[in-house]
């Protein structure tokens, strides 16, 4: 129920909006993607001649017709990260600026933990969980924040990635066979257990396999799953070596995790650190044999995600973003599984970044602002009760744009003008931003105004003209995500010294 079987597929994506531009080849077919595609592996349970591959999403997929589901970019981009000076210059060109975090004293436990790491007084990890929507589905924004924090406080690893999030799109999944996928945004997803991942894959038979990329520095793997009375055993292999084996059977349903050590110098043959010439000379099918394999020994193994870690002190920033998610969606998560997953990760800080889809629902008449406020309030009450000892912070929705003719826009309106049209901010973004700020204050959470940091009303148009936002008028391109991450990381660092 609520699951769909999908062919073992590649990182290549057929975009639903043909107008979406790529960013520096991020969606191009590089050596890794070609190798996966050439392998041609499909599910044993699907006839490849009769079933068109699902290439419309990066893992989470689109939610419903009203939810934005278009994005570009990938964790696997080969473009070098911009320097802070270059990002500051870019911010100046689009009139973005530093916006301080409101109520930074509410982050004192997080800052204390980071301070101990910086002074080498702690050998523990500081866990930060960021829950959002499609803006972070491909790890945009959050990967920049992660990199900045880890450069300063220590690199504890990539952290949690949803089990079916594809390589090149913020995840590590290369392919799978014999598994079906379910998502919180599916028609029957509400109320199903997903941990906080928002998705799962379930084995349909014995020897179902999923393949994942290993990066240099990965030394420890946590596999998150749902234990239940009929759960089979699961193996984790790398090449011909068994790294671990655990049972997913339990007398009652419970979200659990199992630890697997990764050998030193292990990496998959699709790793970006391996020369592309070496990859191109190998049989593509063998590349899967040399990837990390998660193998179910029977039907019913339900997996939520993997956490790739270095085993060293530092920061782990775990981020998930179901496409189309809003406060209402998070209220439909199974409370028991959500609580157990959060308890296992034990974050010092929970960041919630939503709002764009809430504003969309209001614009479409599916929800009132009063309802949105009530849903935000109940969502924060839920998270505060599940994580009573964690700090919390809300980020405001980012700006989104729409094109209008100059004749239909008041001369005082703010936006980016092109010939006879102007890009203005979508309606209801500001109202939802205000709701987020009010709920953060009432719930005891810190608050960061993403909308204002971008430059406020009309900012999307300026970012779009700079070429760092997508034609869908909602999502950032790779460089736009990096700039947003830079602004967020700077706000965090500034707050630590206030």
State pLDDT tens for residues 123-135.
Answer: 999 999 999 999 9
Residue with tokens 């500001």: 430
State pLDDT tens for residues 341-362.
Answer: 999 999 999 999 999 999 999 9
Residue with tokens 């998270």: 383
Cα–Cα dist 482/498, whole Å:
24
Q: Which residues pair with 181 in a beta bridge?
A: 4, 201
Nearest to 304 by CA among 243, 354, 258: 258
What average pLDDT does the segment 182-197 reach?
96
Rounded to the nearest integer, the mean pLDDT of the chain is 83
Q: Which residue has the higher pLDDT, 19 or 456?
A: 456
Domains of the chain: 1-56+157-309 (2.60.120.260), 60-76+84-156+313-498 (3.40.50.1110)
State pLDDT tens for residues 252-281.
Answer: 999 999 999 999 877 655 554 454 444 444
Nearest to 165 by CA among 71, 29, 234: 71
Enumerate residues 6+ apart whose C-beta is below 8 A from 230. 249, 300
Nearest to 263 by CA among 320, 216, 329: 216
Nearest to 472 by CA among 398, 403, 396, 395: 403
The confidence score (pLDDT) of residue 174 equals: 95
Cα–Cα dist 481/136, whole Å:
9
- Determine the angle formed by the axes of helices 478-496 and 84-93, rounding to 10 degrees: 110
Q: DSSP letters of 143-193?
A: HHHHHHHHHHH-B-EEEEEETTPBBTTTB-EEEEESEEEEETTSTTTTTS-
C-beta atoms surrounding 289 within 10 Å:
13
HEC-encoded secondary structure of 208-232: EEEEECCCCCCCEEEEEEEEECCCC
What is this structure's pTM? 0.84
Parallel, antiparallel, or unpaired: how do β-strands 233-238 and 241-247 relate? antiparallel
When pLDDT is cut at 50, 70 and 90, the band that residue 414 belongs to is low
Cα–Cα dist 95/466, whole Å:
11
């Amino acid at each position: 129920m609520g699951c769909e079987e999908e062919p073992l597929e590649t990182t290549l994506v057929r975009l639903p909006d043909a107008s979406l531009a790529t960013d520096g080849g991020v969606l191009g077919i590089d050596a890794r993607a070609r190798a996966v595609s050439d392998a041609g592996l499909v599910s044993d349970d699907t006839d490849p001649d009769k079933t068109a591959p699902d290439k419309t999403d990066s893992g989470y997929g689109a939610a419903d017709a009203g939810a934005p589901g278009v994005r570009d970019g990938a964790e696997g981009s080969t473009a070098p990260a911009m320097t802070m000076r270059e990002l500051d210059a870019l911010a100046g060109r689009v009139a973005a600026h530093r916006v301080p975090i409101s109520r930074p004293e509410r982050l004192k436990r997080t800052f204390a933990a980071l301070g101990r790491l910086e002074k080498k007084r702690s050998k523990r990890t500081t866990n930060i969980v960021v829950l959002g929507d499609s803006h972070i589905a491909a790890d945009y924004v959050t990967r920049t924040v992660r990199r900045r924090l880890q450069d300063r406080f220590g690199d504890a690893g990539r952290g949690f990635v949803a089990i079916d999030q594809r390589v090149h799109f913020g995840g590590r999944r290369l392919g799978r066979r014999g598994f079906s996928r379910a998502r919180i945004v599916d028609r029957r997803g509400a109320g199903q257990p997903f941990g906080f991942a928002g998705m799962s894959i379930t084995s349909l038979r014995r020897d179902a396999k999923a393949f994942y990329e290993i990066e240099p520095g990965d030394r420890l793997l946590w596999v998150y799953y749902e234990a239940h009375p009929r759960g089979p055993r699961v193996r984790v292999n790398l090449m011909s070596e068994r790294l671990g084996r655990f049972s997913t059977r339990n007398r009652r349903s419970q979200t659990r995790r199992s630890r697997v050590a990764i050998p030193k110098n292990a990496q998959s043959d699709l790793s970006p650190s391996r020369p592309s010439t070496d990859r191109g000379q190998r049989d593509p099918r063998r590349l899967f044999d040399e990837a990390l394999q998660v193998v179910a020994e029977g039907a019913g193994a339900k997996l939520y995600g993997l956490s790739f870690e270095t085993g060293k002190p530092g920061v782990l920033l775990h981020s998930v973003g179901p496409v189309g998610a809003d406060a209402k969606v998070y209220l439909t998560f199974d409370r028991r599984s959500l609580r157990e997953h959060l308890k296992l990760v034990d974050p010092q800080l929970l960041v919630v970044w939503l709002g764009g889809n809430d504003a969309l629902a209001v614009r479409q008449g599916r929800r009132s602002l009063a309802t949105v406020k009530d849903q935000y309030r109940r969502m924060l009450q839920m998270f505060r009760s599940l994580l009573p000892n964690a700090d919390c912070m809300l980020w405001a929705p980012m700006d989104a744009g729409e094109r209008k003719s100059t004749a239909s826009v008041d001369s005082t309106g703010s936006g980016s003008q092109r010939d006879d049209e102007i890009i203005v901010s979508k309606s209801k973004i500001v109202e939802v931003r205000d709701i987020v700020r009010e709920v953060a204050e009432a719930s005891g959470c810190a608050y960061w105004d993403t909308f204002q940091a971008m430059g406020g009303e009309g900012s999307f148009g300026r970012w779009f003209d700079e070429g760092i936002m997508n034609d869908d008028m909602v999502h950032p391109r790779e460089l736009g995500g990096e700039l947003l991450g830079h602004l967020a990381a700077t706000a965090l660092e500034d707050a630590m010294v206030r």
